Amino acid sequence: MNDHATPLTRRRLRTWLRILRLTRRAENHLREFLRRECDTTLPRFDVMAALHRAGKPMKMSELSERLLVSNGNATAVVDRLERDGLALRVASESDRRVKHVALSDAGRTRFEALARAHEAEVDKLFANLGHEELDMMRTLIRRMEGQSQ
């Protein structure tokens, strides 16, 4: 057992490239799906999902941290959602530096439909994996992130 023909370093690189490819393919598929079927984009969906999940107004910085994007990026996407009436910005009362952002009623309604369609599409994408394989996948990811950051 324990075939070390390929050095560990090389195998880590190959694995990373495989993960990257998988993610790109899935993202491309979902982007296309959201565009064609739902007339929206992935970044907008991600922001709406984060806001919906939070259930209460979020600070701009919480949003960008949650989504792993820059502050400037969050500002730009929220600007567009706000322009389209899907999100609202409210200045915080306790700290006037802070802006709270939340889905509007229209945004919440819109997102709930989007979320159902998106979930169904993800279900198709991962149709080949069952419970055990999915759990194994998440276990490996958790281990990967173990202490390295």
Partner DNA sequence: ACTTGAAGTTTCAAGCTTGAAATTATTTCC
Partner DNA sequence: GGAAATAATTTCAAGCTTGAAACTTCAAGT
**Residues that bind a copy of itself in the complex, under the rule CB under 8 A:** 2-4, 8-16, 18-29, 68, 119-120, 122-138, 140-141, 143-149
Tokens 């998106």 belong to 118
2 binds, among a copy of itself, DNA, none (CB under 5 to 8 A by kind): a copy of itself
Segment near DNA (CB under 7 A), from 10-18, 36-44, 103-111, 132-140? 36-44
C-beta separation of 78 from 47 below 8 A:
yes
Binding mask 39-78 for DNA (x = CB under 7 A): --xxxx--------------xxxx-----xxxxxxxxxxx
- Return the sign of the alpha-carbon dihedral for residues 37, 80, 87, 49: positive
Residue with smaller CB distance to a copy of itself, 20 or 90: 20
- 95 sits near DNA (criterion: CB under 7 A): yes
**Does the footprint of DNA cover residue 104 (CB under 7 A)?**
no
Distance of CA 12 to CAs 8, 17, 98, 144, Å? Answer: 6, 9, 42, 11
User: What are the residue ranges of helices labelled H in the chain?
Assistant: 8-38, 42-54, 60-67, 71-83, 105-125, 131-144
7 binds DNA (CB under 7 A): no
